[in-house]
Homo-oligomer: A and B are copies of this chain.
Amino acid sequence: MKERMNLEQVARRAKVSTATVSRVLNNASVVKASTRARVEKAIEELRYHPNLHARNLAGGKSRTIGVIASNMENPFFFDIYKTVESGAHARGYEVVVANTDYRSEQLVTSIRLMIGRRVAGLAAIVSEMDPALIKELTESRIPVVFYDVGTPRPNITNIRVNYRRGIEKVIDYLHSLGHRRLGFIGHHAMLAPINERMKAVLDAVARNPVLEVRSAADADTLEGGRQATRALLATGYEPTALICVNDVTAVGALRELRERGIRVPQDVSVTGFDNVKLSEFCYPALTTVHIPRERIGQIICDCLIPPLDPPSTPEHEIVIDPELVVRESTGSAPASVRKR
């Protein structure tokens, strides 16, 4: 029982060749029922478990798709992952994940890992992305889907959300409620002025001279949102509305405001982004922008897992238009500043 278990052991016990055992395992080809039964019995008795590495090596293919995300802790990423996983399982694929924690060093490691595993497809749901890496991926010839970064290439599909549009909807809405002094709560990876969300905010404000904005950023967590809010308020700035880069940080902001006795939405309005489940369950429920994560997950599956029938040529760039969801965390700007 201590010796290594492998096809040969099973074969010997079932008095067949390893080829036959293999065929039984993959229930491919026609194996006589009696033989199959004998083999299955042997497998059972020996508690044999096929070595997947050997399988992949010999078979050449892998039926595994990789998902790399910046922060699985944030339900936004997790929801996408979950959809991808169930889509993959439904088609008989496995999925293996990796977190980057927004560290591009981790991204590199993860991508290498995925290539090393010879995944059948790779989804990179990350906001950081180095052009060199993109090249490395292009050359690896494996189908890739990027979310948010990257440009379409032969084997690369691109999904992007029109953040600009989303942010504009938020700002228009807040503006219509009389808000003029805005705050933007980001997280580190969003701080870079290259970032579309950040830029969208800045641009919108620039376009409307009546608006004013200041921002702060911290980690992409509840605590981070709270800290960023604290930092922003510590400067003495008194925004009447806080635009948060996502729902998680918004919940963090909510907490900080509550602690300071600032009422939401009476004193300050708060908006999130993503429309994660939590945004309905926090108090007050968040006004946010919906990003269809299930749809994104499905698109990923469709791009990465080859359909059996027609070699369809999926479009290589997909853009999604997000929608505003109004809930309880926003309201008219306080009267004192209303008179503009």
Chain A interface (Cβ within 8 Å of chain B)? 1-2, 47, 49-57, 72-73, 75, 78, 82, 85, 94, 96-97, 99, 112-113, 115-118, 136, 139-141, 221-223, 226, 251-252, 254-255, 258, 277-278, 280-283
Neighbouring B residues of A282 by C-beta, 8 Å: 251, 281-283
Tell me if A's interface is mostly helix, strand, loop or mixed: helix
Which of chain B's residues has its CB closest to A96's CB?
B96
The 6 A-B pairs at the shortest CB distance, nearest first, are namely A52-B116, A283-B283, A53-B53, A53-B56, A49-B115, A53-B57
Q: Tell whether, in the assembled complex, residue B251 and residue A117 are in contact, meaning their CB atoms are under 8 Å apart.
A: no
Contact of A52 (CB < 8 Å), options: B75, B117, B223, B255:
B117
Neighbouring B residues of A117 by C-beta, 8 Å: 52-53
**Minimal beta-carbon separation of A86 from chain B (angstroms):** 9
**Minimal beta-carbon separation of A293 from chain B (angstroms):** 13
**Minimal beta-carbon separation of A176 from chain B (angstroms):** 27
- 7 examples of A-B residue contacts, CB within 8 angstroms: A49-B115, A50-B116, A53-B117, A54-B57, A57-B57, A222-B281, A282-B283
Contact of A112 (CB < 8 Å), options: B49, B82, B278, B283:
B49
Given contacts A49-B112, A254-B281, list 16 more A-B pairs with CB under 8 A. Answer: A47-B139, A47-B140, A49-B140, A51-B118, A52-B116, A53-B54, A72-B72, A73-B78, A73-B82, A94-B113, A251-B281, A251-B282, A254-B283, A255-B283, A282-B282, A282-B283
Determine the distance from Cα of A75 to Cα of B282 in the docked complex, in whole angstroms.
16
Determine the distance from Cα of A223 to Cα of B281 in the docked complex, in whole angstroms.
9
**Minimal beta-carbon separation of A69 from chain B (angstroms):** 12
**Minimal beta-carbon separation of A230 from chain B (angstroms):** 14
Known pairs A85-B99, A277-B223, A281-B251; A75 contacts B73 (CB<8 A): yes
Which of chain B's residues has its CB closest to A79's CB?
B73
Neighbouring B residues of A57 by C-beta, 8 Å: 51, 53-54, 57
Neighbouring B residues of A136 by C-beta, 8 Å: 47
Neighbouring B residues of A113 by C-beta, 8 Å: 52, 94
